[in-house]
């Protein structure tokens, strides 16, 4: 039996593990890409629980950085960055439900070198920014293009890094807010967390009728923290299966793989993101895995794992996880 058949999605989802229709959300069908996660745009697609969406996502720069000479400060038009596919309406979703997104595959699209990273003025984890405001001069702007295939990311002549793709920005609409696609929060968004990868199921707390799923910003790979602020950005085809879990109230994003369960927190300072993630993991262990609270606190202390997603976005994102073998 494949692990997915034992997943929370399969066990509790409306679709009960059945696969529905497949929808192709091409660039053409998307038309205008979206730069906020919110309820004010009309859905580009309506799907049912169990359906599959194959979306043509753009990279965080909307694909305008084609060469190493295309400097971000010249070619970007703020705040129109990190374009998103969506919103995708999911029938039957209501506030208080959970939207489950099973990531099936992520493939690079477009002419090589299709991967882009960059040093952008006033952005990144090791430079002064508009919020960690300083008087130091910015670093020189720089773009680095890389060939990305499923065989690897050609970082340099001497190093090819493994292709370990994930969806950088994924989530549902807030109830009344429309928030920049650069920001992660309890509804998802720009988490830049490498665990949001093929094979994982991600669970989002629905805030608005029909959920309004957005996605974009696929990465060919990324280190912990997304240090300079720009991963291996690429146009991609992301294929996900979507399901709906009725009446599961969760305070933020959760994730599941064959091996572990994870709670995700997004906040500043970074310790608050860690606190959010771990507190939710403890509450999850108590609610669904039979733990008494202090026992769950002890287990996380001795066996919890932390993944730093990003330390560069408007909120930092961390995931706290527990191996399934310890809680079975």
What single-letter DSSP state applies at residue 233? B
CB 155 → a second copy: shortest distance, Å? 6
Question: Is the CB of residue 239 less than 8 Å from the CB of residue 104?
Answer: yes
Contact 199, 258 (CB under 8 A): yes
- Partners of residue 267 on adjacent β-strands: 316
Query: 54 or 164: whose CB is closer to a second copy?
Result: 164
Indicate the residue among 18 and 223 with the shorter CB distance to a second copy: 223
Nearer to a second copy, 10 or 61 (CB): 61
The Cα–Cα gap between 157 and 79 comes to: 35
- Give the shortest CB-150-to-a second copy separation in angstroms: 16
Nearer Cβ to a second copy, position 132 or 150? 132
List residues bridging with 172 in a β-sheet.
213
Report residue 81 CA to chain centroid gap.
16
Pick the closest to residue 139 from 71, 232, 58 (CA basis): 71
In the complex with a second copy, the residue whose CB is nearer, 18 or 126, is 126
String of DSSP letters for 118-134: EE-TT-STTS--SSS--
Q: How far is the CB of 312 from a second copy (least distance, A)?
A: 9
Q: Could you count the other beta carbons within 10 Å of the beta carbon of residue 299?
A: 18
Structure tokens given for 34: 């979206």
* Nearer to a second copy (CB atom), residue 91 or residue 271: 271
CB of 268 to a second copy, least distance (A): 4
* Phi–psi pair at 290, nearest 5 degrees: 75, 20
Nearer to a second copy, 186 or 203 (CB): 186
At CA 273, angle to CA 271 and CA 274, rounded to 5? 60
Task: Pick between residue 46 and residue 326 the one whose CB is nearest to a second copy.
Answer: 326
* Beta carbon of residue 294, minimum distance to a second copy (angstroms, whole number): 6
Q: Do residues 59 and 222 lie in contact, with contact meaning Cβ atoms separated by under 8 Å?
A: no
As a residue count, the chain comes to 328
Q: Please, which residue, 31 or 269, has the CB nearer to a second copy?
A: 269
* Smallest distance from a second copy to CB 46, Å: 22
| CB-count burial class (<10 Å; 0-12, 13-18, 19+) for 24 | middle
CB of 241 to a second copy, least distance (A): 28
- Token duo for residue 267: 């906040």
Cβ atoms of 261 and 322 closer than 8 Å: yes
CA dist., res. 41 & res. 44, Å (int): 9
Q: Which residues pair with 135 in a beta bridge?
A: none
Report in angstroms how near the CB of residue 293 gets to a second copy at its nearest. Answer: 7
Least distance CB 219 / a second copy (angstroms): 9
């Amino acid at each position: 039996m494949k692990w997915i058949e034992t997943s929370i999605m399969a066990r509790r989802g409306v679709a009960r593990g059945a696969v529905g229709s497949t929808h192709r959300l091409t660039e053409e069908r998307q038309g205008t890409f979206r730069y906020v996660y919110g309820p004010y745009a009309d859905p580009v697609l309506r799907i049912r629980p169990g359906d599959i969406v194959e979306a043509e996502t753009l990279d965080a720069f909307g694909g305008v950085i084609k060469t190493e000479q295309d400097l971000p400060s010249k070619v970007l038009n703020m705040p129109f960055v990190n374009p998103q596919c969506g919103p995708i309406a999911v029938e039957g979703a209501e506030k208080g439900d959970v939207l489950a997104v099973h990531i099936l595959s992520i493939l690079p699209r477009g002419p090589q070198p299709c991967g882009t990273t960059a040093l952008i003025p006033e952005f990144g984890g090791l430079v002064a920014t508009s919020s960690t405001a300083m008087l130091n001069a910015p670093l020189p702007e720089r773009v680095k293009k890389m060939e990305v295939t499923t065989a690897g990311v050609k970082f340099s002549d001497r190093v090819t890094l493994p292709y370990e793709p994930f969806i950088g920005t994924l989530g549902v609409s807030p109830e009344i807010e429309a928030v920049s696609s650069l920001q992660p929060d309890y509804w998802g968004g720009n988490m830049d967390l490498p665990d949001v990868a093929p094979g994982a199921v991600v669970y989002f707390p629905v805030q608005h009728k029909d959920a309004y799923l957005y996605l974009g910003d696929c990465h060919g790979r990324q280190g912990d923290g997304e240090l300079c602020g720009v991963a291996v950005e690429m146009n991609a085809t992301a294929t996900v299966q979507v399901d709906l879990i009725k009446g599961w109230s969760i305070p933020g994003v959760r994730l599941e793989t064959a091996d572990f369960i994870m709670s995700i927190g997004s906040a500043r300072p970074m310790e608050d993101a860690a606190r959010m993630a771990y507190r939710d993991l403890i509450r999850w262990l108590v609610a669904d895995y039979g733990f008494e609270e202090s026992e769950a606190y002890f287990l996380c202390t001795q066996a919890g794992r932390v993944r730093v997603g990003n330390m560069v976005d408007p909120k930092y994102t961390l995931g706290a996880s527990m191996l399934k073998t310890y809680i079975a």
